[in-house]
Amino acid sequence: MERKENIIEVKNVSMKFNLMEEKVDTIKDYVLKIIKGQMLYNEFSALTDVSFQVKKGDILGIIGFNGAGKSTMLKILAGVLKPTAGEVVVRGSVAPLIEVGAGFDPELTARENIFLNGAILGYRREFLKEHFQEIIDFAELNQFVDVPVKNFSSGMYARLGFSIATIVQPDILIVDEVLSVGDYRFQEKCEERIKTMILRGTTVLLVSHDLSLVKNICNRVVFLQQGKLKDYGDTDIICKHYEEECNVVR
Amino acid sequence: MIKELYQFRNLINELVKRDIKKKYRRSVLGYLWSMLNPLLMMLITAMVFSHLFRFDIPNYPLYLLTGQIIFTFYSEATNFAMGSILENGGLIKKVYVPKYLFPLSRVISSGVNVCFTLPAMVTIMLFTGAEFHFKLLFCVIPLLLLMLFSLGIGLLLAAFAVYFRDIFHLYGVLLTVLNYATPIFYPTKIIPLEYQGIVLYNPLTYFLQAFRDIVYGNVFPSGEQLFVCTCLAFGSLLVGGYAFSKKQNNFVLYV
């Protein structure tokens, strides 16, 4: 085990949010609140002192109840959020599948969005041109290449997004319940593609409530509870703990 | 930083393309509007002012157009840059992208737009029989400096607009003030001495003067003028860049 290098290291990460109700939108509010001494920050700790490592080639499942901090953790790993405290080291390229198609511009056509979204994910234009047909084929959108994306159904949206995001072989793939979109057949296709990536050595981080999926593909599991690392280890043991915990709650 | 810019050059390219495409999507004349718009605006203003108020300015259309090009460039670039972070909030929340790319690409789009208006300027020069000289090529220098200046201001505005939406309204008013405080349609000398300060403390005046000296006056701007413009440009970049980098980590929480 130890000879594999750590591709991700999470060291004592904490994340605090100021809750939205205390959000100040205008200067007037701001000044008033300062004068009244009301700048109480209603702080909410989404994550508290979480540490774990992921080795190259690991398939890591992140499980936990709602509000446990799973998505926050993924966003920190994807570099979208900066942790309030602690440090995250990520060695390699990351392909985030957090709400695929987030970077689409509804006014632009599928073709234009492939280039825009691809650029956001850091691909070169020539590369995208080369793989253009492949992306369209996988998303099964041949007929709709020049239709503005605003006219797409949510399934088409997700298919296109997934297709663009997975066109390369990233070192790390972050999956946040995207597999729940699209019809059954397309879900299978996605799983197929993710499995091929795994075979080729991609490290996968997966957030899911679907325990059987986690048991199926993950070899390591992080169990978060109320922002704290409850358990970390091999899938069987952690899943058992999780199930026991579920029963307690019930 | 430079490395990062190079790495994301494709994204900047795509963002600029998107802005331009979207601007003229489904309009019949498309890019021609970039030329027509300033021309028509200039014509109307010229008509109003050459009949109502008589400023003693030779070749008033060109005088006016140079002013309008500079001011429109500045106001468009800063205005769009200001909203760029909020507009792309959805994206910032989901994928890591260096955030300054959004204001930057907006300012570049406005720069591209200015390039489209230059033919309009040349048309007016031909039409009014203005003198052509190789010096004309140097008019890109004040334009480039103004672009850097706008980028600095844009970064500053964008950073604060995320926290205080009031900035949008406030800045609209400020732009109107600037419009009158910059000698766009009047000659500097009609301002009474005690108010000259308003024009002199307005940074846009310097960019406009440098640009106008080349295009309209057919002379090189003085070294002093260019020096002031350069200082303003880099000063604003420094301040804007600093404010932006201080604030950017928390954008995600507020967009």
* Nearest C-alpha in B relative to A176: B94
* Nearest C-alpha in A relative to B26: A107
Please check whether residues A104 and A162 belong to one and the same domain.
yes
Q: How many CB atoms lie within 10 A of CB B57?
A: 16
Please check whether residues A21 and A3 belong to one and the same domain.
yes
Choose among A152, A75, A148, A84: nearest CA to A116.
A148
What are the residues facing A228 on neighbouring strands?
A225
Q: pLDDT per residue over A185-217, tens digit each?
A: 888 888 888 888 888 888 988 888 778 878 888
DSSP A148: B
**Choice between B248 and B81, residue whose per-residue pLDDT is larger:** B81
CATH number of domain containing A70: 3.40.50.300
Instruction: Give the end of a domain, one of A139, A169, A199.
Output: A169
Compute the 3-state secondary structure of chain B and give helix, strand, coil in percent, each to the nearest 5. 80, 0, 20
Q: State the average pLDDT over residues B1-24.
A: 86
Cβ-Cβ contacts under 8 Å for B34 (sequence gap 6 or more): B113, B116, B117
Please check whether residues A114 and A87 belong to one and the same domain.
no
Residue A228 burial by CB count (10 A; 0-12/13-18/19+): exposed, middle or buried? Answer: middle
Please check whether residues A241 and A119 belong to one and the same domain.
no
Tokens representing B67 are: 């002013």
Min mean pLDDT across A12-26, A136-150, B152-166, B170-184 is at: A12-26
Q: Mean pLDDT for chain A?
A: 82
Residue B159 has pLDDT above 80, yes or no: yes
Whole-number Å distance between alpha carbons of B226 and B209: 10
Instruction: Give the end of a domain, one of A169, A199, A216.
Output: A169
Residue A112 has pLDDT above 70, yes or no: yes
| pLDDT computed for residue B168 by the predictor | 93
**Sign of the Cα pseudo-torsion (A20, A21, A25, A30, in order):** negative
Q: Are B110 and B76 in contact (CB under 8 A)?
A: yes
| pLDDT computed for residue B107 by the predictor | 96
| pLDDT computed for residue A199 by the predictor | 87
- Nearest-CA distance A245 → chain B (Å): 31
Residue A101 has pLDDT above 80, yes or no: no
User: For residues A133, A137, A140 and A144, what is the CA-based torsion angle, rounded to 10 degrees?
Assistant: 10
Min mean pLDDT across A42-46, B117-121, B136-140 is at: A42-46
Which residue in B11, B13, B166 is closest to A27 by CB distance? B166
Please check whether residues A151 and A126 belong to one and the same domain.
yes
Whole-number Å distance between alpha carbons of B217 and B83: 36
Tokens representing B241 are: 């860049």
Cα-trace Rg, chain A? 20
> What phi-psi label fits residue A10: left (phi over 0), alpha (psi between -120 and 50 degrees) or beta?
beta
CATH number of domain containing A143: 1.10.8
Residue B22 banded pLDDT, cuts 50, 70, 90? confident
Chain A residues with CB under 8 Å of B91 CB are: 102-103, 120
- Nearest-CA distance A16 → chain B (Å): 11
What are the residues facing A225 on neighbouring strands?
A228
Whole-number Å distance between alpha carbons of A50 and A28: 38
Please check whether residues A143 and A198 belong to one and the same domain.
no
Residue A38 banded pLDDT, cuts 50, 70, 90? low
Tokens representing B193 are: 């001495």
Long-range Cβ contact pairs of B181-190 (< 8 A, separation 24 or more): B181/B205, B182/B67, B182/B70, B182/B71, B182/B208, B183/B67, B183/B208, B184/B64, B184/B67, B184/B68, B184/B70, B184/B71, B184/B208, B185/B45, B185/B49, B185/B55, B185/B64, B185/B67, B186/B55, B187/B55, B187/B56, B187/B57, B190/B55
Chain A residues with CB under 8 Å of B253 CB are: 17-18
Min mean pLDDT across B19-28, B104-113, B179-188, B240-249 is at: B19-28
At A47, give phi and psi (nearest 5°): -135, 140
Please check whether residues A178 and A68 belong to one and the same domain.
yes
Whole-number Å distance between alpha carbons of B94 and A63: 20
The count of structural domains within chain A is 2
Query: CB A122 to CB B11 under 8 A?
Result: yes
- Chain A contact for B26, CB < 8 A? no
Q: pLDDT per residue over B206-232, tens digit each?
A: 999 999 999 998 888 888 999 999 999
Please check whether residues A162 and A123 belong to one and the same domain.
yes
For B:190-249, CB contacts with A below 8 A are 249
| pLDDT computed for residue B133 by the predictor | 82
Q: Are B107 and B126 in contact (CB under 8 A)?
A: no
- Nearest-CA distance A129 → chain B (Å): 13
Please check whether residues A137 and A235 belong to one and the same domain.
no
Query: CB B18 to CB A125 under 8 A?
Result: no
| pLDDT computed for residue A139 by the predictor | 87
For B:66-125, CB contacts with A below 8 A are 90-97
* B142 membership: H or E segment, kind and range: helix B140-163
Q: Are B124 and B215 in contact (CB under 8 A)?
A: no
Q: Mean pLDDT for chain B?
A: 89
Instruction: Give the end of a domain, one of A169, A202, A225.
Output: A169
Q: Which domain holds residue A10?
A: 1-32+41-93+172-182+189-250
Please check whether residues A15 and A72 belong to one and the same domain.
yes
Find which of A120, A124, A172, A175 to mutate to test the B interface (most B CBs within 10 Å of its CB): A120
Residue B57 banded pLDDT, cuts 50, 70, 90? confident
Distances (CA, A) of A175 to A24, A70, A123, A206, B60: 33, 11, 19, 5, 62
Cβ-Cβ contacts under 8 Å for A42 (sequence gap 6 or more): A18, A19, A21, A22
Q: State the average pLDDT over residues B181-187.
A: 89
Residue B43 has pLDDT above 90, yes or no: no
Please check whether residues A60 and A154 belong to one and the same domain.
no
Q: Under an 8 Å CB criterion, which residues of A touch B?
A: 17-18, 23-28, 30, 75, 78-82, 94, 96, 98-99, 102-103, 105, 107-108, 112, 115-116, 119-125
Whole-number Å distance between alpha carbons of A23 and B165: 12
| pLDDT computed for residue A249 by the predictor | 65
| pLDDT computed for residue A22 by the predictor | 52
- Chain A contact for B9, CB < 8 A? no
DSSP B88: T
Please check whether residues A67 and A108 belong to one and the same domain.
no
Q: pLDDT per residue over A118-152, tens digit each?
A: 888 888 888 999 999 999 999 888 999 999 988 98
Output b/e per residue, A130-162; b: 16+ Cβ within 10 A.
ebbeebbebbbbeebeeebbeebeeebbbbbbb
Which residue in B25, B94, B253 is closest to A98 by CB distance? B94
Q: Which residue in the block uniquely carries the two structure tokens 């259309």?
A: B61
| pLDDT computed for residue A1 by the predictor | 44
Query: CB B25 to CB A112 under 8 A?
Result: no
Compute the 3-state secondary structure of chain A and give helix, strand, coil in percent, each to the nearest 5. 40, 25, 30
Distances (CA, A) of B33 to A187, B39, B113, B114, B120: 46, 9, 10, 12, 10
Residue A23 banded pLDDT, cuts 50, 70, 90? low
Distances (CA, A) of A106 to A122, A134, A151, A154: 20, 22, 8, 12
Query: CB A119 to CB B96 under 8 A?
Result: no
Which residue in A79, A107, A115 is closest to B25 by CB distance? A107
